[in-house]
Structures are given as C-alpha cells and as structure tokens.
Amino acid sequence: MADYILGIDEGTTSARAFVIDENTTVHGFAQAELTQIYPRPGWIEHDPMQILNTQLEVIRAALRDAGITPDQLRGVGLTNQRETAVVWEKDTGRPIYNAVVWASRHSVEVVDKWVSDGIGDLIQERTGLIPDAYYTGSKIRWILDRVPGAQERAERGELLAGTVDTWLIWNLTGRKSFVTDYSNASRTMMMDLKTLQWDQELLNHYGIPRCMLAEIMPSDSHFGDLEATFGAAVPIGSNLGDQQAGLFGQAAYQPGRVKMTYGTAGVLNINCGATPLRVEGLTPSVAWGVQGKVAYEVEGVLFSMGKTMQWLRDDLQLIHAAPDSEWYAGQVATTEGVYLIPAFTGLAAPTWDPHARAAIIGMSNSTTRLHIIRAAVESMVYQTRDVVEAALAGSDIKIPELRIDGGAVKNNLLCQLQADILGIPVIRPRNPEATIFGAMLLAGLSTGVYASLDEVESKWVVDRVFEPQMSADRADELYSGWRAARELTKGWAHQVTVA
C-alpha cells in the first residue's frame, strides 16, 4: 500500500492541500481563495476563522480527490505565509482581531517608536532583521494596543499569539500543541538567531508577555497529530515558512545552494550553512532545523517579478496573458537599450529604497511594444543578478548554479536570459511546486517514509538545464546599463508631487 503524505499550504491568497505518495505522484489536490480585507490603504487583514475553515475544507476535498481516508496518511507537512500575526483567546479559541498580514503596514508607527527609543541596533543584532512593520512582533504589539484590555489579558495568560502555522497547528491538534518552528520564528523579530529562543530582552522592550508565545521547535519535529480534527493520529511531521520550504523542495541542503522563485514577487534564498551570515542588503533567517542540524539562509526579496507581467497585461494591455510575453520578447534580439525598472512600490533587496519609483528608460523613435515587453522580461533577470551580486560581494559563498521555480519559469526565454546574465547554469526541476513539495518531503523524512536526506534528494528531478550562451563581457555590458537605470529611479517619490 502506498505511503500517503498530506501537504498543507496556507498562502496569502489561497489555502491549498495536496496528497502525494512516496514517489511524489499527486493523488489529490484542492484549493480555495481567501478573502483579502483592506480596512484602509496599505493595510491587509485576513479572518483567522476563515483561514482555519478554508484549510479544513481543502484538506477534506484533497482527501476525497485522492479517494483515501485520513487513517491512510503517514504524515502531514505544513507550510505557510510567514510573518502574519494572529492573537486569540486561550479558552474559547476566538481571535481578538483579524490576522494582520505580512505585507500590511499597520505597525509602521510601532516600529518607528522602537527605533526612536534606540532599540533598532539591538533588534538587528539579536534577530538579524532590520526593524520593519513586516515582522510579526510589531503586528502583535499593534493588536495588543488596538484591542481594549488586551495587554492586561495577555499578561494574565488569557491570550495566545503566533504566526499562522501556530494558529493552524493549535486548532488542527484540538488545542493540544502550541508550537512553531525555527524558520517561522526567525521572521518574527522576536527570536535570537543564535540561541533559537524568544529573546526576553526584546520581549520586555516590546511589552509582549512570553506566556503568549509558542514553543519553538526544529522543523522536522512531531508537532502533534490530527486525532481531534480528522479522527486519525496522523503526525504533523514538518513545519516550514514558505520560502524555506521552497529551498528545501529544491534539495538545497548544502551551503551555496540557491533557489530563486519567480512568482508575483521574487525571492532568492541561499543556504549558508551552520552559522548565521550577515550580507548587506539581504535578510538572514533560519532555513530549518532538520535531523538535529540547523541551517541558516540569506534571503533577497524582489517586490515585482511576475507582477510586472500582470501590469503589462492589465494596465498597459500590451499582452493578453503573462505567457505571451515569451513570444513577444522573442521577436526582437535586444531591447535596443531600453530598460524597465519595476520599482512600483520602491526597490527591495539589495538596495532598499521605498522612495524609488518605476521607470522605462532609453526609448527612441524605433522603440516598439516588443522592446518594452522584452525589457519587462529582462527586468526579472537583472533583479536576480542584483541579489546574487550582493551575496557574492558580502560573503565568500560560491554560487555555482541557480535552481528556479514559480509560475514564470515556464518562460524559456526568461530562463535562458537568466543563465546568460548570471553566467551560471540555471536549473528548472520537473516539479515547479517547490514550496509544498518541500514541506511534504520533509514530513516524509521525519515520519519514516524516507530513510535519509539522500533518498529525499532523489525526488528532485531536473527538467531542463539552461547553460549560459552569452559572453561574460556582453552580459556585464547589459547589466551595467540596468544598474545605471536603476540608480535613476532612486528617491523619485521625493522629487515629484503626486497630485
């Protein structure tokens, strides 16, 4: 009989569930949308009960799709949107406020205050993170300030707080397990990157009682089981933040292994081994704790990757669908000096300028939409080189190849250009769903479906290798044009008045 593994992927826009067997063949799948709540510009919230109920629904639907019952599962792997904060009542399980979503700017003033109080350096020293409203701790602080009486109740031990993994596991296990893992906790701005424990000094500054927070465990722990919700004692055998799950799903177990995800946004993750690494412009986090060993990573987020294609499609109406970009971009050999810098919401890694704005530059009378579409595709590969260069400049890590995933990697032109501009092979695996597969493979390892990491690695199969074909001089020349164009977009929001 097959060894089935259930994968739970709680994302920002949808809840998904997969059932695979030990050969990673998919037997069941289900997905449901999550409602995005926008109380005001820049704020995003989710209803935590909807997160839970939608997730339960898709798990049931995926099991039905696979034609199996819960007792046929060997284990469960979990991955989720990171940094999002939920605060709820211990007794009733009722959230006291909506989930404040990772991308939301609710807690900008909370963080400004911490920085003006002079704890910015301490935060960075302990957690590795540059203080920002993005991270969970500031969102928990905001909820405790917002809801009357919440601070006192938290101090009396009546409230619990956590990231979405903690919220889901607590509920899935019938409120038995109150836990998180290193990878999720490293994104809260509350965990000491070296001790892998909540940092009491920071919690004191934040005014967040320790008793609200879950136990931090290695990523391949037994996080509890589904007895209470699904009537079968199936162990939850993995818990990873989405980007770290993607790195694991790309079999990037060794230092120097890198994955790049080309989704709506882009995220590059580099495994940097057993000690935390600080690289200017990139974010250090924990990749995972697996088989008794901790791996650290650095991460480079790029706000607009596939999103630029959506903009060409929906706003400029230059293409009908994102995949069309490949055909159009292929109609011209170069952009003839045109660059598109997609800094719509500022520049992210490694330059971090919230005041930068997007630009198309270098146009002449002979510029056509083909050049602009090609420039949009090229912007994805130049941004990737930006973060790779930052990693190479700030460390002695070697990056021999790039493993890629995400919706845009079906675009062969993009993949080839990426290999050309980086001058290293770009490898597309047969299975582009690295995130959920990473979580499921780790659950398979921890529950004994797989005997070793080597066996897990054998599930990562190459679809296509893109070898660099362009000369290094030509690649450098094109890239230096990008850098010059990128510099021009910096601080633009300061220079103009938006009427």
Query: What is the end-to-end Cα distance of the chain in Å, rounded?
Result: 66
Residue among 68 and 267 whose Cβ is closer to ligand ADP? 267
Tell me which H or E stretch contains 27. strand 26-33
Q: Between vectors from CA 463 to CA 269 and to CA 431, what angle results, nearest 5°?
A: 60
Residues 319, 315: Cα–Cα separation, whole Å? 10
Whether the Cβ atoms of residue 332 and residue 371 lie closer than 8 Å to each other? yes
Residue among 126 and 403 whose Cβ is closer to ligand ADP? 403
Handedness of CA 50, 55, 61, 64 (dihedral sign): negative
Q: In the complex, what is the shortest distance from the CB of residue 243 to ligand ADP, in angstroms, rounded to a whole number?
A: 11
The binding site for ligand ADP (CB under 6 A) comprises: 263-264, 306-307, 309-310, 322-323, 325-326, 406-408, 410-411
Q: In the complex, what is the shortest distance from the CB of residue 160 to ligand ADP, in angstroms, rounded to a whole number?
A: 29
Q: In the complex, what is the shortest distance from the CB of residue 122 to ligand ADP, in angstroms, rounded to a whole number?
A: 33
Residue among 341 and 376 whose Cβ is closer to ligand ADP? 376
Residue among 38 and 152 whose Cβ is closer to ligand ADP? 38
Handedness of CA 213, 215, 217, 220 (dihedral sign): negative
CA dist 405 to 124, 272, 434, Å?
A: 30, 20, 7
Q: In the complex, what is the shortest distance from the CB of residue 58 to ligand ADP, in angstroms, rounded to a whole number?
A: 16
Whether the Cβ atoms of residue 165 and residue 181 lie closer than 8 Å to each other? yes
Residue among 463 and 487 whose Cβ is closer to ligand ADP? 463
- Report phi then psi at 199, rounded to 5: -90, 110
Strand partners, 383: none
Instruction: Show contacts of 214-217: CB within 8 Å, 24+ apart.
Output: 214/160, 214/162, 214/166, 214/170, 214/178, 214/179, 214/180, 215/178, 215/179, 215/180, 216/179, 216/180, 216/181, 216/182, 216/185, 216/191, 217/179, 217/180, 217/181, 217/182, 217/289
Residue among 378 and 386 whose Cβ is closer to ligand ADP? 378
Q: In the complex, what is the shortest distance from the CB of residue 434 to ligand ADP, in angstroms, rounded to a whole number?
A: 10
Beta strand pairing status for 215-217 and 179-181? parallel
Residues 159, 173: Cα–Cα separation, whole Å? 18
Whether the Cβ atoms of residue 258 and residue 433 lie closer than 8 Å to each other? no
Residue among 306 and 468 whose Cβ is closer to ligand ADP? 306
- Report phi then psi at 5, rounded to 5: -125, 135
Residue among 271 and 308 whose Cβ is closer to ligand ADP? 308
Q: In the complex, what is the shortest distance from the CB of residue 214 to ligand ADP, in angstroms, rounded to a whole number?
A: 26
Q: In the complex, what is the shortest distance from the CB of residue 247 to ligand ADP, in angstroms, rounded to a whole number?
A: 15
Q: In the complex, what is the shortest distance from the CB of residue 296 to ligand ADP, in angstroms, rounded to a whole number?
A: 24
Residue among 134 and 170 whose Cβ is closer to ligand ADP? 134
Q: In the complex, what is the shortest distance from the CB of residue 29 to ligand ADP, in angstroms, rounded to a whole number?
A: 14
Question: Which residue from 241, 110, 93 is spatially nearest to 175, judged by alpha carbons?
Answer: 93
Residue facing ligand ADP at closest CB distance:
407
Beta strand pairing status for 236-241 and 73-80? parallel
> Encoding tokens for residue 23?
């050969």
Question: Which residue from 290, 216, 221 is spatially nearest to 253, judged by alpha carbons?
Answer: 290
Q: What is the DSSP string of 432-461?
A: --HHHHHHHHHHHHHTTSSSSHHHHHTT--
Q: In the complex, what is the shortest distance from the CB of residue 393 to ligand ADP, in angstroms, rounded to a whole number?
A: 28
Q: In the complex, what is the shortest distance from the CB of residue 468 to ligand ADP, in angstroms, rounded to a whole number?
A: 20
Residue among 103 and 453 whose Cβ is closer to ligand ADP? 103
Residues 142, 152: Cα–Cα separation, whole Å? 14
> Encoding tokens for residue 5?
């593994």
Q: In the complex, what is the shortest distance from the CB of residue 11 to ligand ADP, in angstroms, rounded to a whole number?
A: 7
